[in-house]
Structure 1
Amino acid sequence: MAKLQSTQSKILVLGPSWVGDMVLAQSLFKTLKLKDPNCIIDVAAPAWTLPLIERMPEVNKGIALPFKHGEFALFERIKFGKSLRNEAYTQAIILTNSLKSAILPFAANIPQRTSFLGELRYGLVNDVRKLDKIKLPRTVDRFVTLGLNKRASLPDNIPNPSLIANKDNALATLQKLGIPSPNSTILGLCPGAEYGEAKRWPAEYYAEVAGEALSKGWQVWLFGSEKDIPVTTAINTLTNNRCVNLGGKTNLSEAIDLMSLCDNVISNDSGLMHVAAALDKKLVAIYGSSNPHHTPPMNNKAVVEYLGLECSPCFKRVCPLGHLNCLKNISPQQIIHHIQN
């Protein structure tokens, strides 16, 4: 027994900062467990991603990184890394390509440090993988390949993320917000996108879809962070305040649980879109400036609306041509068609 314990694989994953990418990282965690069911996986990531990690049964624990977004903080990273030495990790898998993200596992004396080379990371990463963007077109492909042996090929079927929701917490959140428990079909709308307006389908289009659902006796719940309050408020105003406006009223953990109660979800390409996919919801994912072939929803029930214009994907925060046709030319009726079937 002691020998088994001493040779047990214990992996520290340096996770991404974006909510959507952290959801996709669960496919890596599942792959690691398929390869070695006894391995222990800890995930170090920004604190705001921990509610996601808590919903992933493959992960032993989440470790909140105390650094500000974009902050280099060399000495603090070294100190934090040294504080993890007693954990005796056998491998670190670094999902981001920055120099600063490779400092911590090096300081933690983790013997195998796996990642793509990234920026100026010679020595910090000692198990370097080649990033072939043609062979690994999707973010999830890139994450999963870091969990495989160096010469192994991607499996034909990559496991989908699948977050665990808590219905009791969802009902408690509704009670806290003074919202009656649902007694009809629920349509969830996620009209925000942290990256920028070139990923946001127009508010008036969302309102038209909401109006159609409301006319059928459905409830419509508007999801979003504090930054999304203007757009959720605009949609609610356009529907004569008949929606349940959750914009800025829930934390990520509460949003996950509430979304688990939805029957259908319509979302821009955002973190909440990946959450909905990982909750196995019937989902319509709307893409504008981004590429659905790079970060698709990992859900067989999902429908992707993407026009693939000559100027798409531009990956810009604001439409550089000023017309936003990649989103404006996706009509509300196209989206309504999906939720009617």
Structure 2
Amino acid sequence: MKHTFFLQNGGLLLQEKLTRGDQSPDGAKIFTSTELKKATNDFHDNRIVGQGGFGIVYKGFLSGNRIVAIKKSKQVDPNQVEQFVNEVIVLSRINHRNVVTFLGCCLETQAPLLVYEFINNGTLFEHIHDKAKARFFSWDMRLRVAAEAAGVLAYLHSAASPPIIHRDVKSANILLDTNFTAKVSDFGASKLVPIDQTQLTTVVQGTFGYLDPEYMQTNQLTEKSDVYSFGVVLVELLTRKKALSYDRPEEERNLANYFLSTLKQNNLLQVLDDSIVCEGNSEELTSVAMLPERCLHVKGEDRPSMKEVAMELEGLRLAGKHSWNQREPVEEESESLLSGKMNAFAIANGEGSIASIGYDSMRDHFSGR
């Protein structure tokens, strides 16, 4: 039976991917079901750290007491297995320090299992929207996390070969470690872009509130779809408002649209998070807000590239309190955002995706996203 599951779960292909030294992360392996049962106390309920419609995430202890996150799908169907295989293949092509480390997988169970580094400080979504956590999430910390996450997306678009479109960028898919270092996650929906193409025709997939409107209308997925979604994350960081909330008045439900309307009305300070207004001067914050405004252009061709976004955020972060336009990031600093030399790979899927049969986040998500 184990061998049947192994073949059913794409075992031969994945075994090849994980044993090829030029593409797989150091230490990535194929785990046995016995190892992971032992690590989770036979998948006991008290080891559950996150769950949703499509799967459960367990906290596990490998030999040597290494703590890991083990993702187990609730459902078994060909589409889910296809997404599982896609995720591992994408992970095998990523090499960036700000992505959660992928340790391997288990193919001997009916539903395949994925094993990752355990990140215990929650998601960016939680630190923005949980009042208790947000009190300690300063503007400087927010800016650093934004710069790190932008660097990952710039790497995926510009340095990975072939380029990768994430396709589900959102604050719930950016995890934070104990040092508040950003770890981009959830590559189940990601797409590898053939070298000779700049766009892909796909079934629309992503999360309402973050979805690129051009992609929704045309089904044409491009790197600029990630740029739009990241623009929404930047607005979340600036405002501490959720990307989509039916608890707000109708004109404010969609955060991106509401943010753009406040800019047109010159009412930016009205929508900014009070705590960051107290930390920084209004001129600096106004300059920062111009970046998501550009990311949220309706037409993808009018948006900046993620490399440009990453360079500007890193330039601002390094410039400190100086004006946004007073400092151009030097080339070495900008390129360092794309290098990601350390071994790191990631996943953690969020709830709320449409046309998605992916796995759920490593962390519980707050309701009302």
Please give the TM-score of this superposition, normalised by the length of structure 1. Answer: 0.28
Instruction: Name the structure with the higher helix share.
Output: 2
Higher relative contact order (CA 8 A, sep 6+): 2
Scaled by the length of structure 2, the TM-score of the pair is: 0.26
